[in-house]
Amino acid sequence: MTAAVRSHGFTALGPLHEAFARLTGWAAAGTALLLGAFSAVAFAPFHFSAVLVISFTGLIWMIDGARGHRRWGRAVFLRTWAFGVGFFLISMHWTAEPFLVEPEKTAIFLWMPLILLPGGMAIIWGAFGAMAGAFWSSSPSRIFVFAFFFTLAEFVRGHLFGGFPWNLPGTTWIPGGALSQGAAVGGVYWLTLLTVFVMSAPAAMVDTRDARGLMLRLAPAFGAVVALALGWAWGAQRIAAPSPLTDQNIVLMDSGVPQDEKWEIGPDPVLRDYLRMMTLKDSQPGDIVVWPEGAVPTFMLNDINALDAVGAYIGGRKLIAGTPRYQFEEENERAYFNSLVVLDSNVSRSGAAALYDKFRLVPFGELAAADFIPFGHSISDFLPGAMQQLATNGFRPGTGPAVIYADDVPPFVALICYEGLFPEITRQANLAARADWIVQISNDAWFGGGMGPAQHYAQNRYRAIESGLPMVRVASRGASAIIDGYGREVMRAAPIEGAPPGWETSYGRGRLPAPAAATVYQSRFGVVLFWLSLAIFAGLALASWRR
């Protein structure tokens, strides 16, 4: 049981605070779940960031009530866990899409993305919520405690078991807008810390202390307004002018073949569509052409017919393309890689001009099923068709972050799909050797046509903001675009005619922006700032702590 709750502070909010704080049992869990689900609209494609004020405030007020329980740790855990379940279920519902490509084979496994994934990831939030409860007080201190532990939870989520940092609160701001520029200072985790503080600060206006001091209760909200104003003013000044463009032209191509057809029809129809786009008259010698991840359903470097066709059509251009590949190892066993290659007209004779193997692989998807999934050898027949050849072997990881060099191609950081979620990859590669741009390729056809592709695109753009490097992104049945070093979209590929029915073939040609000035985050101080800010929040929590 919980003690009766009496609210003090900002009078108008008192009844709401009492209503949330007095919730118990299933009512509390259900309300927390709904608040978490509501939070999903704060992210792409909606970016209704202000809803996090409602969600975080409601959760904090429910924790206020939970702290009055005899078993308060369990009560706080269940509320924050339910909040996480609602958020991950709605914001990541698209993870069920790969299991619907061939539903007759894979629908039986829908419990994994719809139950196991949200429930499992929410455990992180629940655990850190319980930790926050141990330091909870009815004073404004709890806002700093909440921001500190929630951000730590997100950092752990982004690194545990390989990490899955999807929809971090710092990415709620429209990429390329004024407030998103904070990522250039301390990265997306630092921006997440500030965002959680700003969005939860109004909760401090009401608490359970029978004491006067409205100004103290308003202090976090006042600090949040100041932080927003300063962040917006600095960011608006940073993006006041358009980025200068270089003389390098980039051509974006995506066949847009549906995922459920891609591996059924074989490589020829897909390759023909790309070669057809190669003949469009606006593309000139010296252009760099970019295709998406796994562009053609074949192991291109192992397919002499595909290499001959590319060599015949590419002319004086360079091609950056995603392709699976394999190489033979001991006892004639194949090792598979998810790769990005740079090709030119000599590809049939000399092979790839440059090669990058994806090293941050998706757990349970690209990593060896036999290592990560019980009975991995047995379930290969039930996985989506494109994965059946790789189910038991998986992909081998590459050697790590890299800047790719090839003749007549400006040096670039390579990111393949999932890798675009991790700020440290671009940062580590660029610290080792300065790049001029980022190439991010993806197969968003797996995500369906809902929120998934839009969320992926928005989060990828934060890599440009953090590094100051322009990005060229080509995603199959997703957003293919050129982005400047501030995260702003410069050009997006558009649909073109002539593709088979049901395909979403897109094409675009534009100039590569010049890199922005080196960012604070890209320096060696960038990561230190995040941990220093966490320490400051811990100090503020201690300084304002009251029972």
pLDDT in tens, 501-529: 999 999 999 999 999 999 999 988 888 99
Reference 42, options 101, 79, 86; nearest CA is 86
| pLDDT for residue 348 is more than 80 | yes
Cβ atoms of residues 114 and 96 within 8 Å: yes
| pLDDT for residue 374 is more than 50 | no
| pLDDT for residue 17 is more than 50 | yes
Name which of 55-69, 243-257, 318-332 the model is least confident about.
Answer: 318-332
Cβ atoms of residues 520 and 185 within 8 Å: yes
pLDDT > 90: percent of the chain:
78
Tell me the two tokens of residue 310: 């590319």
- Cβ contacts of 334 within 8 Å, gap of 6 or more: 326, 327, 328, 393
| pLDDT for residue 28 is more than 80 | yes
Q: Which pLDDT does position 109 carry in this prediction?
A: 78
* More confident call, 375 vs 164: 164
The residue type of 335 is A
* Cα(496)–Cα(482) distance, integer angstroms: 18
Q: Which pLDDT does position 384 carry in this prediction?
A: 53
| Residue range 458-471: mean pLDDT, rounded | 98
- pLDDT band, very low/low/confident/very high, at 386 (cuts 50, 70, 90): very low
The residue type of 176 is G
pLDDT in tens, 293-332: 999 999 999 999 999 999 999 999 999 999 999 999 887 7
pLDDT in tens, 194-218: 999 999 999 999 998 877 788 889 9
Residue 245, CA atoms < 13 Å, CB-side half-sphere: 12
What are the contacts of 215-223 at 24+ separation with CB within 8 A? Answer: 216/139, 216/140, 216/544, 217/9, 217/10, 217/140, 218/10, 219/140, 219/544, 220/140, 220/143, 220/144, 223/197
Q: Which pLDDT does position 393 carry in this prediction?
A: 62
**Reported CATH class of domain 245-360+397-513:** alpha beta
Only one residue has tokens 């490097």, namely: 469
Task: Count CB neighbours of 428 within 10 A.
Answer: 14
- pLDDT band, very low/low/confident/very high, at 4 (cuts 50, 70, 90): confident
* Cα angle, residue 440 at apex, residues 438 and 446 outer, rounded to 5°: 170
Q: Quick one: CA torsion of 370, 375, 376, 377, rounded to 10 degrees?
A: 100
* More confident call, 60 vs 393: 60
* Cα(275)–Cα(500) distance, integer angstroms: 14
* Cα(188)–Cα(201) distance, integer angstroms: 20
Name which of 40-44, 141-145, 360-364, 522-526 the model is least confident about.
Answer: 360-364
Q: Which pLDDT does position 392 carry in this prediction?
A: 53
- pLDDT band, very low/low/confident/very high, at 243 (cuts 50, 70, 90): very high
Q: Which pLDDT does position 383 carry in this prediction?
A: 52
| pLDDT for residue 382 is more than 70 | no
| pLDDT for residue 1 is more than 60 | no
Q: Where in the chain is the domain with CATH 3.60.110.10?
A: 245-360+397-513
Mean model confidence pLDDT for the chain: 91
Cβ atoms of residues 8 and 211 within 8 Å: yes
| pLDDT for residue 364 is more than 80 | no
| pLDDT for residue 530 is more than 70 | yes
Q: In what order do the strands lie in the sheet with 489-492?
A: 403-406, 409-416, 437-442, 471-475, 481-483, 489-492
What does pTM read for this prediction? 0.94
323: helix, strand or coil: strand
Name which of 320-329, 367-376, 425-434 the model is least confident about.
Answer: 367-376
The residue type of 407 is D
- pLDDT band, very low/low/confident/very high, at 106 (cuts 50, 70, 90): confident
Q: Which pLDDT does position 440 carry in this prediction?
A: 98
